[in-house]
Structure 1
Amino acid sequence: MAAVAQQMMSGFSLDLGPLKEPLGFIRVLEWVFTIFAFATTGGYSGTTSFSVKCGTDVKPVNVTFGYPFRLPSSSYEFPTCNNTEKMFLTGDHSSSAEFYVCIGVFGFLYCTATLVLYLGYQHVYRETSRGPVIDLVVTAVFAFMWLVSSSAWGKVLTDVKAATSPYNLVTSIIKECTGTAGRECIAGPYPAMGRLNASVIFGFLNLILWAGNCWFIYKETPFHKPANPPTGVEEGAGKS
């Protein structure tokens, strides 16, 4: 193991030149926006609220929720004027949220690995056609995964907003709110979700970056026709 590590270090040659080319520059952008995508989703925590008025007594109710948005696990105590009743938010949206974050984390790891390859082992990357071809296939797969995960997460975010809307929350428990004379439920402010809105935008930005980068990686593969004709063809044309 030590011998392999030593061999890799001996072949390492730092060259920042690829960062000036679209191939390396776009990969850096992918690395940055991938971090933004999963960080804005994975660390989110919000609070929705409403108030219960019993006569002249107003009791606030705050419900905290967050990633991975298994809303039924978010419980709150509903005041029934004389007592309290335990209630829960509805809707489990964890699968789409976790899938989106998973794509972001794996995309970040792949960007890190390829940047090391571009900047430290460029000679190995261009030594055979295998490296660019594998890079092209993986990048195309990630572009497709960003399309799927961002679309799914955008739809789920709409459902999360509906489930945590104070107005919808009060409407869903209208029987409890009006079951006792003099009791009234008042919707509070909407939870701040600008961070989650940004996460969806970052997802589709990643789709554009990864899909666009496929073209520049494709130019590194043998599938791309050389822009300049072979030297032999040029010489033959000159002699004729």
Structure 2
Amino acid sequence: MAAPRWDLGPAREPLGLIRALQGFFSVFAFATLGGFQGSVRFRLSCAGSPNTSVSAPFAYPFRLNLAPFTPSLPTLCNHTWASDVHLIGDFSSSAQFFVVVAVFSFLYSLGSLLLYLGYLHLYRGTGGKLPLVDFLATAAFSFLWLVASSAWAKALADLKASVMAPLPHCHPPVVTCTRDTPTPMGALNVSVVFGFLNLILWLGGSWFVFKETHFHPPPVTTSTTSM
């Protein structure tokens, strides 16, 4: 394999600069989603019993149907609930797909940026093969970001509706259920924003990669002769 010729010049060109931005914002996309933790809390007022607080924690990958309320509801309020109560919905497929796209986007951005900085002479000297592969990969990631961001935005809307659902079998005055302040979901909203921002970056970056392929004609230069 040829020795690298390290040069920071491509990092100051749109080709390398956008690759660096793509990797940077990919990290933020999966970090804001993968690191989220929240919970749903209710205060129960049972006739003849002191108030009790119950909660159901949830986090990535958001399999809410596996998140039961604790302490166990069947032990409270004179067995009002016959079995444990879970949150509603499984949003893991959309969340995990979003994170997988973000992780592989980061890895590809890092790898291609190293290629630009160390092997640009090979990248541009392979008869257009590497730029063409790079362009096809960039276009594919643009499509994946579109699908992943749209799917996660829809799943997030459904997730918010799920955590705002009332607790079943609450019939005042026998059992009164009061919702505590829900966990803020600003980080999840930001993850959607980063998803569509990555889509814009990958779409924009595809143009600069396309210019490296042999399909893009070189600029026409005109020469002037003095009379």
Q: Could you tell me the TM-score, scaled by structure 2's length?
A: 0.90
Name the SS of the counterpart of 2:51 in structure 1: strand
Offset of 1:18 from its aligned partner?
A: 0.4
* Alignment RMSD (CA, Å): 1.9
Instruction: Read off the aligned partner of 1:132 and give its amino acid letter.
Output: P
Aligned partner of 1:62 among 26, 50, 55: 55
1:143 has 2:139 as partner: no
Instruction: Read off the aligned partner of 1:68 and give its amino acid letter.
Output: P
Name the SS of the counterpart of 1:62 in structure 2: strand
Name the SS of the counterpart of 1:48 in structure 2: strand
Instruction: Read off the aligned partner of 1:124 and give its amino acid letter.
Output: L
Percentage identity across aligned positions?
Answer: 45
Instruction: Read off the aligned partner of 1:135 and give its amino acid letter.
Output: D
The equivalences for 1:1-240 within 5 A come to 7=1, 11-55=3-47, 57-76=50-69, 77-78=72-73, 80-83=76-79, 85-128=83-126, 129-165=128-164, 168-170=165-167, 173=168, 176-178=169-171, 181-229=173-221
Offset of 1:87 from its aligned partner?
A: 1.1
Offset of 1:153 from its aligned partner?
A: 0.3
Name the SS of the counterpart of 1:186 in structure 2: strand
Offset of 1:169 from its aligned partner?
A: 2.7
Offset of 1:181 from its aligned partner?
A: 4.9
What whole-Å deviation, never above 9, does each CA across 1:16-61 have from its counterpart, x for those lacking one? Answer: 0001100000100000000111111112111111111013621111
Instruction: Read off the aligned partner of 2:78 and give its amino acid letter.
Output: N
What whole-Å deviation, never above 9, does each CA across 1:191-238 have from its counterpart, x for those lacking one? Answer: 211111000000000000000011111111111121124xxxx67x96
Aligned equivalents of 1:13, 1:75: Cα separation in 2: 57
Offset of 1:133 from its aligned partner?
A: 0.7
Aligned equivalents of 1:81, 1:218: Cα separation in 2: 66
Instruction: Read off the aligned partner of 2:197 and give its amino acid letter.
Output: L
Structure 1 unmatched ranges of 5 or more? 1-6
Offset of 1:82 from its aligned partner?
A: 3.1
Instruction: Read off the aligned partner of 2:6 and give its amino acid letter.
Output: L
Instruction: Read off the aligned partner of 2:64 and give its amino acid letter.
Output: L
Q: Could you tell me the TM-score, scaled by structure 1's length?
A: 0.86
**Structure with the bigger percentage of strand:** 1
Aligned equivalents of 1:80, 1:185: Cα separation in 2: 12
Offset of 1:72 from its aligned partner?
A: 1.0
The structure 1 segments of at least 4 consecutive aligned residues displaced by more than 6 Å after TM superposition are none
Instruction: Read off the aligned partner of 2:149 and give its amino acid letter.
Output: S
Structure 2 unmatched ranges of 5 or more? none
What whole-Å deviation, never above 9, does each CA across 1:80-105 have from its counterpart, x for those lacking one? Answer: 32357421111111111111111011
Task: State the number of aligned residues.
Answer: 219
